[in-house]
Amino acid sequence: MASKLEAGKTREALGRFTRRQLLELDTCAHCALCTEKCPAYAESKVPNYAPGVRSSKTARLVNKQFGLWARLLGPRPVTAEEVSDLAESAFNCTLCGRCMETCPFGLQTHELWTRVRELVYALGGTLPNVRMLDEMLEENQNPYGLDADMRLDWADYTDLEEVPEKDRAEVAYFVGCTTAFKGANHEVAYSIASILNQLGEDWTLLGEDEWCCGSPLLLAGNEEGAREFAEHNVEALEARGVKTVITGCAGCFRVFKWEYPKLLGRSPRFRIIHAVEYLRDKLASGELKPEPFRGKVAYHDPCELSRLGGVIDAPREVLKYLVGDYIELPEHGMDVRCCGGGGLLQAANNDLRLAIVKRRLGQAAALGAEVLTSACPACKLAFVDGVRASESDIEVLDIMELAARQLGLL
Amino acid sequence: MSGLTDILYPFFVEKLPYITIAVFLLGVALRAARWLSAPRDPGKRPVSVFAAVKYVVLDVVLFRKTFKSDKVTWLILFLFHVAAGGILFGHMRGFHLWSAEMFAPLGEWVAEFMVEVLPIYMGWLFIATQVLLLIRRGVLEGRQLLSLPNDYLALVLLLITTILGQGMRIFPPEAIPPETYSVVFIPGLIVLHLEKVPSFHWFFLHVLFTQLFVMYIPFSKLVHIFSGVITSALYGSRRAEYGI
């Protein structure tokens, strides 16, 4: 027998859909034009993962409480089974936003699916692994459950001599958890730090004072948690008088730039740029003169940097300075096919993540790419895992690592 | 006419139009109230009029995104909407918004083509594209999409209405009472004038189903006719804000 959820809680959670989101749920014609473009559906063929199916199921729940019949005859209860089913759909999604780019009506699905995750979270339907991640974030302020004093381990491992932690600085490098705690990304942090040192920037790290940007909390559906993290980070950065925050993480960048103003109700008193934008400017001004890399290099747009972040040209402009033989992958830019590394899919369904990344790696391999670059630590991790799983010989490098290498810093 | 139809017919063409307009407006009001009762979106998004118009034209009028992802579906959808627009335009003549005489300077054959030939082809095109869309939905059902009952109801209602309208043109005309040559939706404002006496049974049912369809619009997925323009405009603004 289906177990009904508490009415008041359900109504409150379903009542959090905004005007635009209700309009979007009503507009979705369930045409399925987004389905084949969805990486999660394309690799799994599970109907429940299709964006249109998620939209139908969400609309059904909303209509149970706020639809016309609910207004005339009274709201109908939502069951735990329905929420669990919706959770399966919501978390088997990379939140890459490709369905938004495909939707004939331009439904802003990235925000809609995030709201669905919030609904699931509020009704206690979050998947166990995602719940665990949420708990680790609350306890350790990072999604890996590691102590804060390990945030600077990357500097020890890479023998970086100067790691500034100042009370005041013009520039702050916000490393991000996936770069700081994951060995495969330590050289990304090293590369960015080395470039900042080479250019003599007045820069600092937050060190142990750096908390997760809050992106995984938002992706888990915990908006309140993300707000707390945003407040902490902005306070820490503003207290140091920072004018510019640089990050090499596409997820951190998107959240700082596009979510923090919404979470905080104001814009932070600093600008946020991705490291590739900084690098582009320094290459264009002639302050950095790299030796061009000889070999075929492809670039994968991180969804959170390109489609969801608005940075598409900067990495390509950087690669003009770094690479002699650049290959443009199919399905790039606004239409980029996700690598599978986003949306907490690794926690929800790692097999699906690997299937998605193998497809993307296959596209790079088919074009004869020797090096596959990106500008996101989650993409890099996904590609590294994909290379291992598919025994590919493509070298995976962050664009900042390639730059540091061609500048003789790495 | 005889029996029940003697009573129903005048009702459908004299009374029901008022109910249709009232239900339609009530539905729009209820739908708008539902949207407006929800919380506002956090943060203030600047509205870019240029980007909004650009994406409405590209995505709503030309179906650019559908073209990019699925050429066959684009063709069906595009022809479906061309036929829908054409038929809607044809009906506007009945509301005296245009007349065959306006096309006479281009040649008598053009005027005749506009009022006699084109509507027949548009009708067939409309039916064919609806059937294809219905088949597509059926084929993908349960695999790529999960239709709500109103997804089908809207399509089926439209298909019945169109078939009835087409039947009215094809089957030979019959005499109908002179007072039913006009269907009054709002007196002096929205009045459908019939130039010719159509086939009675087809006209009778077409009038009924058209009004059911119009009443159903605000309660169905067909609301995308209006809301899709808003969502596309908002998407255009978002792209402008993101600089992409």
The residue among B227, B229, B239 with the most chain A CBs within 10 A of its CB, best to mutate, is B227
User: For residue A219, which amino acid is it?
Assistant: L
Domain A290-406 has CATH 3.40.50.1240: no
Residue A336, C-beta contacts closer than 8 angstroms, at least 6 positions apart:
A96, A98, A300, A301, A302, A303, A306, A307
Among the partner-chain residues A105, A108, A258, the one whose CB lies closest to the CB of B228 is A105
Give the CATH number, domain containing residue B233: 1.20.950
pLDDT at B192: 83
pLDDT at B194: 77
B81 inside 8 A of chain A by CB: no
Give span(s): CATH 3.40.50.1860, chain A: 129-280, 290-406
Res. A319 pLDDT band, cuts 50 70 90: very high
Interface contact flag, B223 A27, Cβ < 8 Å: yes
A16-20, A192-196, A211-215, B178-182: segment of lowest average pLDDT:
B178-182
Does residue B213 fall inside a structural domain?
yes
Neighbouring C-alpha atoms within 13 Å toward the C-beta of B158: 25
Interface contact flag, B144 A27, Cβ < 8 Å: no
Does residue B15 fall inside a structural domain?
no
Calculate how close chain A gets to B119, using CA atoms only, in Å.
27
Q: Count the Cβ atoms, other than its own, within 10 Å of residue A107.
A: 29
Does residue B66 fall inside a structural domain?
yes
What is the rounded CA–CA span in Å between residue B168 and residue B166?
A: 5
pLDDT at B187: 79
pLDDT at A344: 97
What is the rounded CA–CA span in Å between residue B233 and residue B5?
A: 47
Does residue B32 fall inside a structural domain?
no
The residue among B69, B130, B134, B136 with the most chain A CBs within 10 A of its CB, best to mutate, is B69
What is the length of chain A?
Answer: 410
pLDDT tens digits, A328-353: 999 999 999 999 999 999 999 999 99
Give span(s): CATH 1.10.1060, chain A: 7-126
Average pLDDT over chain A reads 96
What is the rounded CA–CA span in Å between residue B99 and residue B90?
A: 10
Which A-chain residues 318-337 have CB contacts (< 8 A) with chain B?
334-335
pLDDT tens digits, A79-124: 999 999 999 999 999 999 999 999 999 999 999 999 999 999 999 9
DSSP for A232-262? HHHHHHHHTT-SEEEES-HHHHHIIIIIHHH
Asked whether residue B200 carries a pLDDT value surpassing 80, the answer given is no
Asked whether residue B234 carries a pLDDT value surpassing 80, the answer given is yes
Asked whether residue A371 carries a pLDDT value surpassing 90, the answer given is yes
Q: Burial code of B201-225, b = ≥16 C-beta within 10 A, e = fewer?
A: ebbbbbbbbbbebbbbbbbbbbbbe
CB-CB contact of A244 with A140 (8 Å) = no
Residue B236, C-beta contacts closer than 8 angstroms, at least 6 positions apart:
A106, B48, B51, B52, B53, B54, B55, B56
Does residue B14 fall inside a structural domain?
no
Res. B6 pLDDT band, cuts 50 70 90: confident
Does residue B189 fall inside a structural domain?
yes
Res. B180 pLDDT band, cuts 50 70 90: low
pLDDT at A68: 84
**Complex ipTM:** 0.92
**How much of chain A exceeds pLDDT 90, in percent?**
93
A353 inside 8 A of chain B by CB: no
Asked whether residue A172 carries a pLDDT value surpassing 60, the answer given is yes
Pick the closest to residue A111 from A221, A230, A245 (CA basis).
A221
Identify the bridge partners of residue A79 per DSSP, sorted by sequence position. Answer: A4
pLDDT tens digits, B13-36: 788 999 999 999 999 999 999 999
Full domain range(s) for residue B121: 45-242
Pick the closest to residue A298 from A390, A395, A206, A379 (CA basis).
A395
- Residue A26's closest chain B neighbor by CA? B221
pLDDT at B196: 72
pLDDT at B179: 63
Asked whether residue B2 carries a pLDDT value surpassing 60, the answer given is no
Class of the CATH-defined domain A129-280: alpha beta
- Residue B140's closest chain A neighbor by CA? A32
The residue among B62, B65, B132, B232 with the most chain A CBs within 10 A of its CB, best to mutate, is B65
Interface contact flag, B231 A105, Cβ < 8 Å: yes
Cα dist. B146→A60, A83, A313 in Å? Answer: 11, 17, 38
Domain A7-126 has CATH 1.10.1060: yes
> Domains in chain B: how many in total?
1
A75-89, A196-210, B76-90, B201-215: segment of lowest average pLDDT:
B201-215
- Burial of A232 from C-beta contacts in 10 A (0-12 / 13-18 / 19+): middle
Interface contact flag, A108 B238, Cβ < 8 Å: yes
Interface contact flag, B39 A18, Cβ < 8 Å: yes
Residue A215, C-beta contacts closer than 8 angstroms, at least 6 positions apart:
A226, A251, A252, A254, A255, A259
